Amino acid sequence: MANRATREAYGETLIELAKEGVNVVAVDADLAGSTQTAKLGAYDSDRLVDVGIAEQDMMGVAAGLSLTGRIPFTGSFAVFGVGRCYDQIRNTVCDARLNVKVCPTHAGITVGEDGATHQMLEDIGMMRALPQMRVMVPADYWSAKAAIRIAAETDGPVYVRLGRHKVPEVYDETFKGGLPYAGVLREGTDVTLAACGVEVAQALAAADLLAEKGISAEVIDVFSVSPLDEDVICSSAAKTGHVVTCEEHMVTGGMGSAVAELLAQKNPTPMRFVGMRSFGTSAPGDVLLEHFGLDGKGIAAAVEGFLA
């Protein structure tokens, strides 16, 4: 299985939806080639609006298109497509519950050599805090395709976090996902590894390393961060008694915080958080995952320290 970036599913799935008669359009901010929305424009030029380097305008145009019955998907890099136009997402899209899909690419530390200015580490927290917004963080190419389809089928604002880094396939073409959805990828009894996005494959690698030391780790893909699949997460926490969340995001406000909020109310459980605690730096994505303790070895070491 070839490693593929989740962004590779974006333009391809939009074309599939267009061919199926779904009224999708893409609105991008001068990054259509990188975000892959250019593929939809090449298929049908009337389905791509490129506003230039103007993310606030991108969100406003998408909002207007949604009022005409179209289903707009926005592009740009996550640091710009969320950070630069948060006001428009909050006040224009979410407050009016418009049918706009915010799907930026190049999220997380694995943007790599572009450095800290382009490594968006706060977006999950920003988006899940908004009333009306649903948040999905796909782990691989196939789950990204599913997330784009779910976004098109779901009325109202949806955020899908996509990346540039090529990741291993966790699923195949049969994966459907859902809102909410969390899937148990590996059964375990000693600790729950609740991961999302890039970190799902790393959590599976960590589970292999822990197994060599006699530690049985259950791995959950938290595909839907908002809403959470409460039953799956609470059941796993009750079974293992220990939860470690793993995300390519700041440890404050993101998926780990969402899981902690849930368990604090439904099933208080000892927890640890694997994620970012600072801005990033410039290096290849794999190097950064290792450097910041987000790779399989780093996760396994965090679990060992926790259980000790």
In the DSSP assignment, the letter for residue 135 is: E
What domains does the chain contain, in order, with CATH numbers? Answer: 4-167 (3.40.50.970), 183-307 (3.40.50.920)
Cβ-in-10-Å burial (0-12, 13-18, 19+) of 25 comes to buried
Say how far apart CA 44 and CA 46 lie, in whole Å. 5
> Is it the case that residue 271 has pLDDT exceeding 80?
yes
Cis preceding linkage at 227, omega within 30: yes
With bands split at pLDDT 50, 70 and 90, how would you rate the model's confidence at 24? Answer: very high
pTM, rounded to two decimals: 0.96
Cis preceding linkage at 270, omega within 30: no
**Pure H helices in 44-186:** 55-66, 78-81, 86-88, 123-128, 141-153
Say how far apart CA 103 and CA 37 lie, in whole Å. 10
pLDDT in tens, 69-93: 999 999 999 999 999 999 999 999 9
Say how far apart CA 66 and CA 93 lie, in whole Å. 10
pLDDT in tens, 4-14: 999 999 999 99
Considering only CA atoms, which of 203, 176, 174 is closest in space to residue 188? Answer: 203
> Is it the case that residue 180 has pLDDT exceeding 80?
yes
Mean pLDDT throughout 30-53? 94
Asked whether the beta carbons of 274 and 244 are under 8 A apart, the reply is yes
Say how far apart CA 296 and CA 231 lie, in whole Å. 26
The amino acid at 104: P
> Is it the case that residue 286 has pLDDT exceeding 90?
yes
3-state secondary structure of 128: helix
Rounded to the nearest integer, the mean pLDDT of the chain is 97
Residues 6 or more apart whose Cβ sits within 8 Å of residue 244: 191, 192, 193, 194, 271, 272, 273, 274, 299, 302, 303, 306
pLDDT in tens, 131-152: 999 999 999 999 999 999 999 9
pLDDT at 1: 65
Residue 213: other Cβ atoms inside 10 A = 10
pLDDT at 129: 97
Backbone angles phi, psi at 192, to 5 degrees: -100, 125
Asked whether the beta carbons of 60 and 92 are under 8 A apart, the reply is yes
pLDDT at 2: 79
Mean pLDDT throughout 87-116? 96
